Structure 1
Amino acid sequence: MMTESGIRIRDLRKKFQKVEVLKGVDLDVQRGTMLALLGPNGAGKTTVVKVLSTLSRPTSGEVLVNGYDVVKQRNGVRSSIGLVSQFVSLDWMHTGRENLIMMGRLHRLSPANAALRAQQLLEQFDLVDAADNRVKTYSGGMKRRLDLAATLIVPPSVLFLDEPTTGLDPRSRATMWEAIKQLLAAGITILLTTQYLEEADQLADRIAVIDDGRIIAEGTAAELKQGVGKERVELVLTSAGGYARAVELIDGEGIQRDEVTRSISIFIDGAAHVKRLLDLLEQHGLEIDSLSLTKPTLDDVFFALTHREGSTTTEHAGATQ
């Protein structure tokens, strides 16, 4: 069933008992593109994925996946999608190859075709050397890659990636990113939930920010950064005492502080604002090691939109919402 949108959501609402978790979500993901869904813990990201994948029934609203209604045409949805959740769903007592062949047989591939497809995926995800080892011996990154490979035994039209790289080391994360790029190149429609803002910046065609069950912003990474508007200045103080005093003196929009690196960063309104900051520090005899100016990042967008400060790039999204 072909439609222009791989995913279409209109006024999606979801209640758990008396708590409304999703409060009128609207989203469109065009075929062959990726939408990254960003948001703090408990914002509703995983609930959206559960509704889209028919694991949770919406309270109200219209939700179409690959043209199928998630309530009225659940089997059509399920035949069209793949899902990689926050938790690896593999049989750890079997080998990687056995897991993939078993998944192929569940998809009604012949024994020969299941074995052939398993070998193709083992090669694609750089798992050939470990193919005949039990999954319980695999590293976290290898388990994640195998989990994604199992989802692709029969390539889906729409793929949901719910925090797929949480807990991975940088090398494993980069390998996953490359695999995801290949899926996009193959025309698969992807919805990615993540709190790694660099991940969204690198991979997604469009980004939506969800907070408290509502979509509060949507656009390309460039559009969202442009919406923040201002540049950021970062000052690194020479001494711990100087940093502590500067924290007392400097205030403003989007301020971030890091005691370990003795850095303070803040949005500025042009060169005159930088001069005022430097004059203030000089007036109080405070020395700086360095000063740098940067354009807005997705971190800045996230902080500005959700009114939360601190790094979100290492947080683990809650599984309940």
Structure 2
Amino acid sequence: MSTQDHADVRVRAPGKVNLALTVGRRRPDGYHPLASVFQALSVHEEVSAWHADRLSLTVSGLHAERVPTDGTNLAWRAATALAAATGAEPAARLHIHKGVPVAGGMAGGSADAAATLLALDTLWGTGLSREALAEIGATLGSDVPFALLGQTAVGRGRGDLLTPALSRGEYHWALGLRDRGLSTPEVYAMFDEIVGGAGGEPEADRALMQALRTGDAEAVGRALVNDLQDAALELAPELAETLAVAQDAGALGVIVSGSGPTVAALTRSRQAAAAVAAAMTAAGVADAVLTAVGPVPGARVLQGSSRSGPARSLRGVD
């Protein structure tokens, strides 16, 4: 929307792909221990914020009609959580412009929350560090801290304990989107039913981490893994054809992103990504396609003065 250009603050935050997602057995608290390697991609959410006398939210862009604009929205929840943590008045006009698929396994809602935390910290002058914002974000969802950090990182625990990963080079992706999303809780429930999870704490794949350190895209493609993929395929069996078409079109590796249903195909170059996207379109195995590059930075202020200082490494585990 054109009024975004005149926002008091505007923040951009990236969607993500899970290069690896290893899932352990469900714990008594209902959560699954995770080891995830995230990469932030050049598909973004933008949150604009204006001073106002109450909290309100509007949405435009990709799948906007499927996004709630009330207290169930993660951006709204981020606003109220930041206000509660800082004593600020929870009043602002927020607008989300979406570029990340809804319910696609790429953490668009988490990007909205991260962008909102940074935007309102700037708008309200609450002056929190990135680490403090991430701690608030972790109460909203396990992917929110990564949307603040960006680049490439290893997530453990519920995925919210982050360690920046050494990564060289650019990675080019073709993304096959589906209009019908998948519910993350349903995917995990199906995972529990058909797989059950490995014992002990999951670990990041050593071959993948080595490939990222050397910038070896072919080795990264071979090492892509998602323990939730079989569960996603059980709920949406048509994704098998999408995976096959992308692989046959020359992708270095193909994976369901997170809990799905977005299919992410790693390719050799920008041109190869466009070719794989065209193949998915021609075969009719995706409702829409995008191309993207990673890794990219986490949430950042595009308009307005940031008071939260430079990005810091978020607390993680070795």
Give the structure-2-normalised TM-score.
0.24
Q: Please report the TM-score for the alignment, with normalisation by the length of structure 1.
A: 0.24
Greater RCO (Cα-Cα under 8 Å, separation 6 or more): 2
Larger radius of gyration: 1
